[in-house]
A and B are shown apart, each in its own frame.
Chain A
Amino acid sequence: MTSLPIVKITDLDKYFGRLHVLKNINLEVPERQVVCLIGRSGSGKSTLLRCINFLEEPSRGAVEVDGIKVNTETKGRERHQLIHDVRLKTGMVFQEFNLFPHMTVLENVIEGPVTVKGIDRKQAIELAEQNLDSVGLLFKKDEYPLRLSGGQKQRVAIARALTMQPRVMLFDEPTSALDPELIGEVLNVMKKVAYEGMTMIVVTHEMGFAREVADRVIVMSEGKLIEDGEPEKIFNSPQDPRTESLLIRYKSGGG
């Protein structure tokens, strides 16, 4: 794990109005690492994830993705361009799927490559079909999202993000909006993506997934990273009492 970091966050602060939601965050994620961000709701984990692709503007600090650095001093057109470049390097999967309802599954998946990257439609379809196949939904390619289950929607959303061939995938509570019986199929797809070597940052409440798939678990509380280490270490011998109480809550079925 000596490879250069794909994501590097330096001295990042985020305010919502007067609320200080991220407090001086520093984080490096090397290539091929799977990181799970855990913490209570309101701890800032989703906001941190959304700062990486600038769906939230950091109030202060620098974000660097695959060598593209955006900090507070970057302004105007240059900033606009750099943020665009960062977004091309990141794929995002949302809690609420956010598939485009007016497009078929295939159209959803090729939209990015065709509109944003200007890839030839035929080539985009080929790529899209490969990814739909790998999430097991090629047979649904001509359906509209309305006709898919929540689990299927999320798998399409993963295929859509992968088809942009990002360097890092950001997952924002990808299974939190799903019925319990549909969570497994989405986690399995994520596992597959992880084993194929994708760098992943996953905000999740799925402790089983974190324990099994993550290389590293980071615990957040009140806008700070309070613990950071291998899942084994975090789950078996947490150092911070707040981590302990969080894990107890998960064990008792909360969260």
Chain B
Amino acid sequence: MTSATQQEASPSHAELLYQAQLRKERLFRAHVGVSWVILLLILIFLFSGQKIQIGQLEYQTIQLDSEFILKNLIFIAGGLGQTLLISILSISVAVTLALLAALGRLSNFPPIYAISAFYVSLIRGTPLYLQIFFFFLALPQLGINLSGVVAGVTALGLNYGAYMSETFRAGLSSVGKGQREAALALGMTSSQTMRRIVLPQALRFAIPPMGNDFISMTKDSALVSATGFVHELMWRAVKVGRAQFNNLEALIIAAMFYWALTLILTYFQSKLETRLAKGDR
């Protein structure tokens, strides 16, 4: 019975191979982690103001004004709330618009289809920076005065909505024709089919890219500081930096906050993605 013994032996062989592969993957992750720490140390060293003697020559790495940093850290950090608020408001506007625009593209009614295509084209064809200024600076000329936050949220929401509508469109088309047919064959109306069968699957498909968009949004929200009336991270950093000629320190502080925010959000994003992947799809 050679075949039987082989069958008994093969699982342990497979198990060994699997273990070896796991070890290899773990080792790779460990090496990446160590490299990250080294790179971070190099970065810190570059800004540590250390003096280095190489032969006759003396070098000094970049010296930061620690007194300024300590004094203004809290003030700049105070902008985190505004940054998050703008991002959350804008992404809500964006998701709503994106969904409408994506559904509009499925419409058989020409004006609806045209409106959604027109919106996406117009917004994607112009810079976000211009759009923010348009709502804040150009509209007052027509007698419409928007606050910095409202103008910023409107512009960011419209802008991201146009880009995200493509994500939703991809999500909607990822749901196979067979799903619609099965729903229709059960006697569902087309709106029931959309609500109960197509949208839940399309949204699940669109959640990971939506997370990415939200993370981008937290950084693009910095553009709103250009209006001068929204006291988020970037605005605060520029304000104190310019006033005291400490732009270097101020911008580094802001950069660190943005980066930390991104790292935290990315962590949650990847958790969400693994949960969705494990799910029932």
Q: List A contacts of B280 (CB < 8 A).
A: 101-102, 104, 144-146
Distance A116 CA – B185 CA, assembled complex (angstroms) = 11
The interface stretch among A71-79, A90-98, A183-191, A240-248 is: A90-98
Contact across chains for B181 and A98 when beta carbons are under 8 A apart? yes
Q: List A contacts of B192 (CB < 8 A).
A: 115-116
CB-defined interface of B100-135 with A at 8 Å, one 1/0 digit per residue?
A: 000000000000000000000000000000000000
**CB-based A-B contact count at 8 angstroms:** 65
* Residues A146 and B188 in contact in the complex (CB < 8 Å), given A94-B178, A94-B181, A115-B196: no
Say if the beta carbon of A84 comes within 8 Å of chain B.
Answer: yes
Q: Which residue of the partner chain, among B178, B200, B201, contacts A98 with CB atoms under 8 Å?
A: B178
How far in angstroms is the closest Cβ of chain B from A61? 20
Contact across chains for A101 and B281 when beta carbons are under 8 A apart? yes
Say if the beta carbon of B189 comes within 8 Å of chain A.
Answer: yes
CB-defined interface of B191-230 with A at 8 Å, one 1/0 digit per residue?
A: 0100011001100100000000000000000000000000
The count of chain B contact residues (Cβ–Cβ below 8 Å) is 20
Looking at chain B's contact residues, the main secondary structure is helix
Return the chain B residue nearest A163 by Cβ: B186
Contact across chains for B200 and A102 when beta carbons are under 8 A apart? yes
Contact across chains for B185 and A53 when beta carbons are under 8 A apart? yes
Q: List B contacts of A112 (CB < 8 A).
A: 186-188
Contact across chains for A164 and B181 when beta carbons are under 8 A apart? no
Q: List A contacts of B183 (CB < 8 A).
A: 100
Contact across chains for B197 and A100 when beta carbons are under 8 A apart? yes
How far in angstroms is the closest Cβ of chain A from B163? 26
Say if the beta carbon of A87 comes within 8 Å of chain B.
Answer: yes
CB-defined interface of A11-29 with B at 8 Å, one 1/0 digit per residue?
A: 0000000000000000000
Q: Which residue of the partner chain, among B186, B196, B204, contacts A87 with CB atoms under 8 Å?
A: B186
* Residues A100 and B185 in contact in the complex (CB < 8 Å), given A111-B196, A115-B192: no
* Residues A146 and B281 in contact in the complex (CB < 8 Å), given A87-B186, A98-B181, A111-B186: yes
Interface of chain A residues 93 through 128 with chain B (CB within 8 A): 94, 96, 98-102, 104, 111-112, 115-117
Interface residues of A, Cβ cutoff 8 Å to B: 53, 55, 84, 87-88, 90-92, 94, 96, 98-102, 104, 111-112, 115-117, 144-146, 157, 160-161, 164
